[in-house]
Structure 1
Amino acid sequence: MSAVIEQPVQARLVASAPRMETVPATLRYDREDPYAVSMAFPPPATLEGVEVSWAFARELLAQGVERPAGDGDVRLRPYGYDRTVVEFHAPEGVAMVHVRTSELRLFLERSQHLVPAGREHQYLDWDRDLDELLGGLS
């Protein structure tokens, strides 16, 4: 079984204009970083014209599809029947996207098969992490 899960999703960008633009995004989960997920947007979907990736807690994603969650750079909340709002807060401003909740649940389910919730600590490589922390001195 692969140690990484990637799943493309369609995110609808929420803007002040009445229409919502659909942009591609990729959800990613890596067993080597068992507590985190990331959502990446390709260069054409970003203001800077470069890929932008946001990493946040898998637990935050799981909570956010059920109820409002987060108070930092990434916040989520259910919206309507089958949408979840994902907010990305940065010094430059706030970006909001709607993602189908069913796509997020599928991604979470796939990540749970790879690393069950509550067992993330069993997948940490403490020796590697300590070596990285010490700059290869250990």
Structure 2
Amino acid sequence: MMAHRDHTVCWPLTLHLADEGGTRTSTFRYRTWEPFSVTLTLPLDEGAAEFEFARDLLADGVEEAVGEGRIEVSPHYIDPDLVTLRMFTAGRWHEFYARRDDVDGFIDATCELVPLCKAAERLDLDALVHQLLAGAR
């Protein structure tokens, strides 16, 4: 197995609150040692919430509505320059709009480090098995 250097992409973006109006500065984060997932940190009135979800979900959601459960991503229903992010936390849904250019920029930055089709090659299965076994004790 080829050794890889670990990198993190932190991508600040402004999210527009659908229900309340106003904006929130948030951050997308991608870590190459977790090649399938991204994290979105949202400052909410109840405190900061972190959502970890599939990078593919974010990439696909720019083009078409995807997601089930606590996270949904889709193109905005009117403005093609926006992406809709719906997150369930603190007992309710929160809907945000992000500029598509910001989301595309983040996805592109992650793909420069690990292309979507190469994510499985970055996964260290031996370390994952070791971690799972250590947790079972």
Give the TM-score taking structure 2 as reference length: 0.88
Residue of structure 2 equivalent to 1:77: 74
Secondary structure at 1:40 match in 2: strand
1:71 & 1:137 partners in 2: Cα distance?
A: 29
Share of identical aligned residues, percent? 26
Residue of structure 2 equivalent to 1:7: 11
Residue of structure 2 equivalent to 1:99: 98
> Which stretches of structure 1, 4 residues or more, deviate above 4 A after TM superposition?
none
- Report matched runs for 1:40-79 at 5 Å: 40-41=41-42, 45-49=43-47, 51-79=48-76
- What value does the CA root-mean-square deviation take over the aligned residues? 1.8
Pick closer, same or farther for the CA change 1:72–1:136 going to 2, 3 Å: closer
What 5-or-longer segments of structure 1 have no aligned partner?
A: none
What is the deviation of 1:81? 2.5
What is the deviation of 1:111? 0.5
1:34 & 1:94 partners in 2: Cα distance?
A: 27
Secondary structure at 2:38 match in 1: strand
2:90 & 2:111 partners in 1: Cα distance?
A: 33
Residue of structure 2 equivalent to 1:121: 120
Give the TM-score taking structure 1 as reference length: 0.87
- Which residue type is aligned with residue 48 of structure 1? E
What 5-or-longer segments of structure 2 have no aligned partner?
A: none
Aligned length: 131
